[in-house]
Structure 1
Amino acid sequence: MASVTDSDSLRASDADRDQVADKLREALAEGRITPEEHAERIDAVYQAKTYAELAPVLSDLPGQSGPAPSVSLRKEENAPAPVSESANIVAVFSGAERRGRWLVEPKTTLTMVFGGVELDLRQAVLSQREVEISVTCVFGGLDITVPPGVRVTWNGFTMFGGQQLPGDDPDDLNAPHVKLTGVILFGGIDVKRREQGDLTKAQRRAERREHHRGLHDHHLEIREQHQAFHAEMRRARADRREHLRELRDARRASRRRC
């Protein structure tokens, strides 16, 4: 490995750009920069090729005399800027997915009615250290894949459904945090933790098929529960009508005796 005397001319790695983006998210959360400045600087970060291009992004923030990431000569390819997507995803009697290098907004809203959504966050860039995914799931399903080192929590309401979260969240409270909120009715959320490239394309297709088969079986089970619930309600109404009829007959018989 050749010695380097001018660090500014070194090529920045993907990890370097991600570390600078993390510092910008911290500055945004602390109120040091505005959302507009944050968006502008994030664009500059993911277009930067060298440390010299990264330095101005952090130069006016406390404790920064230049780009903070350590020098890495392992990855020199220029990663594309994350794709900015809509913060609203709707799947009604259909499916939707989001994967690759995309920008996760501070709050993403998912609406699933008899539909499913797949989110892959392994290459995604979080706009801030904690992002919220608000879920409205009615007879639907949500699959989320996160990389190691990301905390995932659920803080919502569930009825006739459930959520399965990974049990190996990092102990570091400053780790990136995906907060799931919202309502699940007759549906479910499944969160998996995987390294990038863990599965082949064929395995991913097989997993999707299994997931959709599971959704189909789940919908059949929910339909049976729904039908049983309505049958029970009909029986309860019939019993109530019979009880009222008996009360009326008893009152009439009492009046005749008088």
Structure 2
Amino acid sequence: MEPRIRVSDGERDRVVQQLQQAFADGRLGPGEMEERLERALTARSHGDLLPLIADLPDAPDGPDDVLRLTSTGGRIKRSGDWQVPRLLRVESEYGGVKLDLSQALVRYPEIDIELRLPYGSATIILPPGATANVDGVRTGWGSVTCALPGRARPGALHVRITGELEYGRLRVRTSRDRLGARR
């Protein structure tokens, strides 16, 4: 990184991700994490970012960053306190899928969810403030419902959802509209 070159949103996000991982690993305390995050989100040049991560290991990118959930006809459900990888691959021929990320540990500022649900449907619940891009989801007779902003925002979780739901439906919402969703 050239210290005087201006940084992009993506570069800021990568540093934020590395700081979040260091905090989750116990390398940073809450106060130091908050201070470094604020500096990372307001950084203008590489010179502003470099000191924030100079004493930290590189961000991981190994097999723990991918989770594959499969079912033929049963239901796939994840909720509560669970660890969300960088990439979730979800496959179910006929079953339903419910992924609740509202209380989960998400170490990355951006994650990807790949859906393969020929006859199944999915509900994805995100924490308040999160954004979701569903432009990569293809349906035949199904439907996609997502009222969340589609562009990433600095400091907020962004989820990219792709895949195929030939006859199923996809619904993406935040946890705060849970009660209104039960009509």
TM-score range, shorter chain: 0.5 to 0.7
Q: 2:68 aligns with which of 88, 96, 105?
A: 88
Measured in 2, the distance between the counterparts of 1:193 and 1:146 equals 5
C-alpha distance after superposition, 1:17-68 (max 9, x if no partner): xxxxxxx963286xxx6xxx9867532269x6x648x69x99xx73549xxx
Residues 145-188 of structure 1: CA deviation (Å, up to 9, x unaligned): 1122111111132112111112x428763232100001111111
Instruction: Work out whether residues 98 and 122 of structure 2, in 8 Å CA contact, stay in contact via their aligned partners in 1.
Output: yes
Give yes or no for contact 2:70–2:76 (8 Å, CA) kept in 1. Answer: yes
Confirm or deny: 8 A CA contact 1:149 1:169 kept in the other structure: no
Residue of structure 2 in register with 1:188 after alignment: 169
Question: Deviations 1:82-105 (Å, cap 9, x if unpaired)?
Answer: xx8971111211102111122221
Q: Following the alignment from structure 2 to structure 1, what is the Cα–Cα distance between the partners of residues 133 and 21?
A: 26
Residue equivalent to 2:24 = 42
Show the counterpart of 2:149.
Answer: 169
Is 1:160 the counterpart of 2:141? The answer is yes
Measure how far apart 1:113 and its partner are: 0.9
State the aligned residue count.
149
Q: Secondary structure at the match of 1:138?
A: coil
Give how far 1:195 is off. 2.6
Is residue 103 from structure 1 mapped to residue 91 from structure 2 by the alignment?
no
- Contact 1:122/1:195 (CA < 8 Å) preserved in 2? no
1:27 counterpart residue number: 15
* Mapped partners of 2:68, 2:111: distance in 1: 14
> For 1:55-70, what aligned pairs fall within 5 Å after superposition?
62-64=50-52
Q: Looking at secondary structure, tell me which structure has more strand per residue.
A: 2
- Structure of higher RCO (CA pairs closer than 8 Å, 6+ residues apart): 2
For the 8 Å contact 2:133–2:151, the answer to whether it is kept is no
Counterpart CA distance in 1 for 2:175 and 2:20 is 29
Q: What letter matches 1:187 in structure 2?
A: G
The one of 104, 109, 115 equivalent to 1:129 is 109
Point out where structure 1 has 5 or more consecutive residues left out of the alignment: 1-23, 66-83, 211-258
Asked whether the 8 Å contact 1:25–1:38 carries over to 2, the reply is no
Conservation of the 8 A alpha-carbon contact between 1:85 and 1:102: no
Does residue 97 of structure 2 align to residue 117 of structure 1?
yes
Q: Percent identical across equivalent pairs?
A: 22
8 A Cα contact 1:112 1:136, kept in partner: yes
Question: 2:121 maps to which residue?
Answer: 141
Cα distance change, pair 127–172 in 1 and its aligned pair in 2 (3 A): closer
TM-score (norm 1): 0.47
> 1:153, 1:98 → 2: CA distance?
20
Structure 2: where are the runs of 5+ without partners?
Answer: 1-11, 38-48, 54-63
Write the distance in 2 (CA, Å) between the matches of 1:92 and 1:126: 27
